[in-house]
Amino acid sequence: MAHIAKLRTLLMSALGPALAILLLLLFAGYAVFGSSGILAWGDYSRQLHDSRAELAMVKKQRDQLKNRVQLLDPRRADPDMVDELVRRELNVGHPDEVIVPLK
């Protein structure tokens, strides 16, 4: 009976530190394998690189559109751009004209 009481006392005294170690291991595992852990960092870096490349492409497209808008400004419209736009939208052209698409 004394051995069982000693064993029970020993187990009860080891329960607190064991739970603390288990909790620390849980936090460490989440820090490494979690959704924002160390292993996910590489994936976030790749996504950041892809997003920056997409941002550069969108900025380039925005600058092209901005240039076209400036060329079509009613106060100082570029005659060539207006002529091109009218011919494309209204589908008008003379029979002797040759249209060469540049795309």
DSSP E strands: which ranges in 6-102? none
By the 8 A CB rule, do 60 and 53 touch? no
By the 8 A CB rule, do 47 and 36 touch? no
Tens-place pLDDT, residues 63-93? 999 988 888 888 888 888 888 788 878 877 7
pLDDT at 86: 82
Residue 81 buriedness (CB in 10 A; 0-12 / 13-18 / 19+): middle
Give the tokens for residue 8: 């029970």
Could you give the CA distance from residue 22 to residue 37 in angstroms, rounded to a whole number?
19
Could you give the CA distance from residue 87 to residue 83 in angstroms, rounded to a whole number?
6
51 or 29, which is more confident? 51
- Residue 87's contacts (CB-CB under 8 Å, 6 or more residues apart) are 93, 99
Name the DSSP class of 62: H
Query: How confident is the model over 25-30, as a mean pLDDT?
Result: 92
